[in-house]
Amino acid sequence: MTLDVGVLGYRFMGNAHANAMARLPMFFPDAPAVNRSVLVGRDESALEEAADRFGFDSVATDWADVVDEVDVFYNLGPNHVHAEPSIAALEAGTPVFCEKPLAPTLETAEEMADAAANAGEDVPAGCAFNYRFVPAIQYAKRLLEAGDLGEIRHVRGRYLQDWLVDPEAPWSWRNDAELAGSGALGDLGAHTVDLLRFLVGDDDLAGEIDRVSGHLRTFVDDRPVPGEDDTRPVTVDDAYSAQVEFENGAMGSLEASRFATGHKNDHTIEIHGSEGSLRFSLERLNELELIRDGNRGYETILVTDADDPYIDHWWPPGHVLGWEHTFVHENYEFLSAVAEGTEFEPSFADGLAAQRVLAAIEESDERGEWITLE
C-alpha cells in the first residue's frame, strides 16, 4: 500500500518533512511506502520550484481541492491556517499531521481536537512536536518511567533564540497575534510544555501542570516590513517566563526568548528527582547528562548505541545524529500509525493540552495572579 501525501506549506517545515519522507525507504524500510503527491501553497512559481526540489508530483493552490483526495494531509502552514484545512481533512476522514502550536488560540485548538475525536481512533491526528523523537529524550523517558530519578521535585525548561535581538530584524507573521496567536510562548514554549508532559506527565511521575504564574514581555514594538518603507506593530510576546506547579507538587520553571543574545536554538530541560537528576540540551542532542546512584556530579552518556532509541536504523555507535533525524523519526511513527489505522502521539489532544498551559500562562500575565488549570 502506498500513501498519497498532500502537504500544505513549502518553506522551512515543508522542507524538513519532505526530507524526512525521502529518507524513510532508505533507513526505515518497514515504513509504509509514501508518494509525495501534491504540494499546496499560494505563490504558484515558488510552489512549482519547491515541488520540483522536494520531489512532489503536482501542486495545488487551494487546500480544499486536496484534503479529501489524498490518504494523508500535512498542515505545515503558519499557525492561522492550521484549523480550517485540518478540520476539513478530518471531516473527510483523512489523517492529519499538523505543525505546532496546534492553533493560534485555545478556542481553535479545542475545535481541532474535537474534529480529531469525531474522526475516530483509526484516523490519526498528530501534532508535530518533533523533539519527543530525539533519541536522548526517549532514553530519558525510559529512565524516568523505570523510576531511576525517584520522586520528581524540580523541572526546568528553557528555549533560547536570538533572531529578534536586532530591532531592525524584519516583521513577519510570527510577530502578529492574529496570525501566530502568541510569540515565543507559542512557538517555543509549546515545545517545552510538550516535552515536559511527555517526560514527567504520567501520574506516577509529576503528572500534568496544575497551576501557573506567567510573565510575557515584548521588547521591540514595531519592526520594518520587508520590501516596504514602513513598519508594523509587534503584537505578540518576544519572551515569556512562568512558574508552574505539577499535580504531584513538583515545581517547574519555564522560559523562552527570541532575545537571548548568542543562543540560536538552545532548548534545555533539567529534572531533579529524589534519586537523581538529568539534563538535556538541544545544542548537544546526542548527549544526556545524568546524576544517579549517589554520584555527586553529572556523567555524560552518549546516546548513540545500537540499542538506543532509533539508532539501529542509522549509523554505528558514536556516529552522531542531528536535528533533521527527529523529523524522520516522527514521520516514521506517524505514517506507520496511518497505515495501521492506530492512534499516534503526540496527538491533537496533546496539542490541546499544551495549548491549555500556554493560554493559562497568558491569562496569568494579564491578571497578575496564579491560574489553576481546569
Applying CB under 6 A, which residues contact ligand SOE? 161, 187, 265
Alpha-carbon distances, residue 51 vs 8, 16, 234, 307, 325 (angstroms): 11, 13, 32, 37, 21
Count of beta carbons in the 10 Å neighbourhood of residue 224: 15
CB of 110 to ligand SOE, least distance (A): 22
Residue 201 grid coordinates: 506527565
CB of 257 to ligand SOE, least distance (A): 11
CB nearer ligand SOE, residue 140 or residue 282: 282
CB of 155 to ligand SOE, least distance (A): 20
CB nearer ligand SOE, residue 108 or residue 161: 161
Q: Which residues pair with 314 in a beta bridge?
A: none
Q: What is the DSSP letter of 57?
A: S
Distance CA 232, CA 279 (A): 39
Q: What are phi and psi of 360, to 5 degrees?
A: -65, -35
Distance CA 353, CA 374 (A): 11
CB of 126 to ligand SOE, least distance (A): 15
CB of 216 to ligand SOE, least distance (A): 17
Tell me whether residue 146 is exposed, middle or buried, using C-beta atoms within 10 angstroms of its C-beta: 0 to 12, 13 to 18, 19 or more: exposed
CB of 134 to ligand SOE, least distance (A): 11
CB nearer ligand SOE, residue 167 or residue 317: 167
Q: How many Cα atoms within 13 Å fall on the side-chain side of residue 23?
A: 18
Distance CA 197, CA 272 (A): 15
The number of angstroms, rounded, from the C-alpha of 347 to the middle of its chain's C-alpha atoms is 11
CB of 141 to ligand SOE, least distance (A): 19
CB of 183 to ligand SOE, least distance (A): 10
- For strands 371-372 and 209-217, give the pairing: antiparallel
Q: Which residues pair with 271 in a beta bridge?
A: 155, 278
Q: Which residue's CB atom is positioned nearest to ligand SOE?
A: 187
CB nearer ligand SOE, residue 187 or residue 350: 187
CB nearer ligand SOE, residue 263 or residue 272: 263
CB nearer ligand SOE, residue 103 or residue 301: 103
- 165 closest CA partner among 185, 189, 192, 184: 184
